[in-house]
Amino acid sequence: MKKLDATKMKDWQIAEAAEEWMAPISEVAAKLGLEPLELIPYGHHIGKVDHQRVLQRLADRPDGKYIDVTAITPTPLGEGKTTTTVGLVDGLARIGKRVTGAIRQPSGGPIFNIKGGAAGGGLAQCVPLTDFNLGLTGDFDAITNANNLAMVALTSRLQHEFNYNDETLAKRNLTRLSIDPNNVAMNWVIDFSAQALRNIIIGIGDKMDGFMMRSGFAITVSSEIMAILAVAKDIKDLRERIAKIVVAYSTSGKPITTGDLEVAGAMTAILHKAIYPNLLQTIEGNPVFVHAGPFANIALGQSSIVADRIALKLGDYHVTESGFGADIGFEKFCNLKCRMSGLTPHAAVIVATIRALKMHGGGPRVVPGAPLDSAYTASHPELVERGMENLIAHIEIVRKCGIAPVVCINHFHTDSVDEVAAVRRGAEAAGARVAVSKHWAEGGAGAIELAEVVTEACNDKSEFRFLYSMETPIRQRIEIIAREVYGADGVSFAPAAEKKLAELIQDTATLALGVCMVKSHLSISHDPTAKGRPRGFTLPVRDILLYRGAGLVVPVAGDIKLMPGTASDPAFRRIDVDTNTGRVTGLF
């Protein structure tokens, strides 16, 4: 492995250099302990893993230590959770631990927009970078196509029911479902940030061009099918969950599912390979599973349960990633993912940057694509101290679930000794261990302190607990999350949300569903402009979605969209292909 200088190279240049020493994926798999038939190669450096074979073979092997990586409320530039996850994997390997990682596959929305991909950064990356960010093994394409096939089935059925009487429908082997075109529960999806598709009219033309109605697109990662992929335990469970997806409602209010539309089998056929986790490697050659998607603000935002289950059997330590801050990703990790998987975490790493703490302390606005204000590169420990209230809130969220918190200061070269000392003092006073990690600049060698502190935390006596029981009514669960996690005084429900909540209460089966909140990731509250630790607010829930297949009730708080927008200076303007070598350039 060559010595690379992260301060003088772009991420894609580092990843390209790493290709010179990347091990074949078969070697990574063998080192991990996978047998040949458990690996399904996709080229030289990527593979899928047959999790059912692995879990059956290793059923009696005890699980390793389970570590979640979360963060404080990020700036729009992010806190570096994936970079930290990869760095921690390499750091644990450096101190002799048998370790695996699990991160989420990036969405095309941020890749071609402002934020970029999600392979990590600097010397703490998952490779190969280009394949990782541009489709990988096709899981997101499969999710997009399966989702849209359900919409094809729905809109086709609407057209036929509108144009034909019952006798004609019977001749075509169809029964009338009496679909209400004004009560459709699904959107079309596409994996780009395409605000122009949020609200559309379809079926314009004559009667053979479809039923004319309002419709719209969401981004692929917000699809219920993405959530199903994250929580399904095997192909049988996947098929059963797909059949429960509510696509629309009848004119009498009856749910119409993909099973009713007789499309669930075909959707599962599209997805049957997507349920296998993808296996890649870090720059230092350590195994990383990549499965399921990001955006914990509008989705589950977790790496998949199947990836975690096989990784815990294969390694002594497993590091998994949750989206955005502890108020969103970690809360869902604990109360949804761990409840569904039955897995018990041992520690949680809260990633914090000096930059974000300064922002929460009253620093100038951070704008994606614009140069940072000098306040973020000069030493201002007073800003850091004022911003510590945000970090302390996230430490308290982790501790409420009985998990040992470790604050990782994701170190930048501009961070001063006084600023780092301020974070250490405040975090330790709040009951967290603290480590400074330089994984971006130094790879695993820079994450040794973090690795050692995390292994200490994993040895703490575990007192893991959920914030609420499944016997707690849905409304009360929403209120508990709002008060205990976000710090709200209470919850207000818009009329549309009240109506849906009343319907949920009438259906006792919904009590078995988890609560997956949708809200801004840029604040602990619903208001993205409210930094630090907001207080004295009421959480406004404007809508409630029902994901029966994923097993989730989804309250939507504030003015958040399920389809992001593309900015004026998106990343796609700088992505290209070197026509001499065929290599992709400009991937941040």
Average pLDDT of the residues in 57-75: 96
Phi, psi (rounded to 5 degrees) for 583: -85, 140
Start-end of H helices in 280-405: 305-314, 331-332, 339-341, 354-360, 381-400
pLDDT score of 105: 92
Residue 83: active-site member: yes
Q: Do domains 11-136+274-458 and 139-265 have the same CATH topology?
A: no
What element of type H or E holds 144?
helix 139-163
Calculate what percentage of the chain has a pLDDT beyond 70.
99
pLDDT score of 23: 95
pLDDT score of 513 more than 80: yes
Residue 344: active-site member: no
Instruction: Answer yes or no: are the C-beta atoms of 153 and 145 closer than 8 Å.
Output: no
Reported as a pLDDT band with limits 50, 70 and 90, residue 1 is low
With a CB cutoff of 8 Å and minimum separation 6, the contacts of 24 are 44, 45
Task: Of 110-114, 158-162, 489-493, give the lowest mean pLDDT range.
Answer: 110-114
pLDDT score of 360: 97
Residue 451: active-site member: no
Which residue in 412, 464, 466, 588 is the catalytic one?
412
What confidence tens digit (pLDDT) does each residue in 411-463 have?
Answer: 999 999 999 999 999 999 999 999 999 999 999 999 999 999 999 999 998 78
Average pLDDT of the residues in 158-185: 92
Which residue in 65, 81, 355, 438 is the catalytic one?
81
Instruction: Answer yes or no: are the C-beta atoms of 41 and 21 closer than 8 Å.
Output: no
pLDDT score of 434: 98
Residue 81: active-site member: yes
Average pLDDT of the residues in 300-309: 95
Residue 270: closest CA among 156, 141, 154: 141
Reported as a pLDDT band with limits 50, 70 and 90, residue 567 is confident
Residue 188: active-site member: no
Which residue in 18, 93, 296, 497 is the catalytic one?
296
With a CB cutoff of 8 Å and minimum separation 6, the contacts of 542 are 494, 496, 497, 556, 557, 558, 559
Instruction: Answer yes or no: are the C-beta atoms of 527 and 336 closer than 8 Å.
Output: no
Look at the block and give the residue holding tokens 């911003």: 387
Which residue in 12, 140, 324, 333 is the catalytic one?
324
* CATH number for the segment(s) 11-136+274-458: 3.40.50.300
Instruction: Answer yes or no: are the C-beta atoms of 161 and 179 closer than 8 Å.
Output: yes
pLDDT score of 564 more than 70: yes
Residue 324: active-site member: yes
pLDDT score of 299: 84
Which residue in 440, 482, 493, 533 is the catalytic one?
440
Domain 139-265 fold? Domain 2, N(10)-formyltetrahydrofolate synthetase (3.30.1510)
Q: Check residue 322 and report its DSSP letter.
A: B
* CATH number for the segment(s) 474-557: 3.10.410.10
pLDDT score of 506: 81
Domain layout of the chain by residue ranges: 11-136+274-458, 139-265, 474-557
Q: What integer best gives the mean pLDDT of the chain?
A: 94
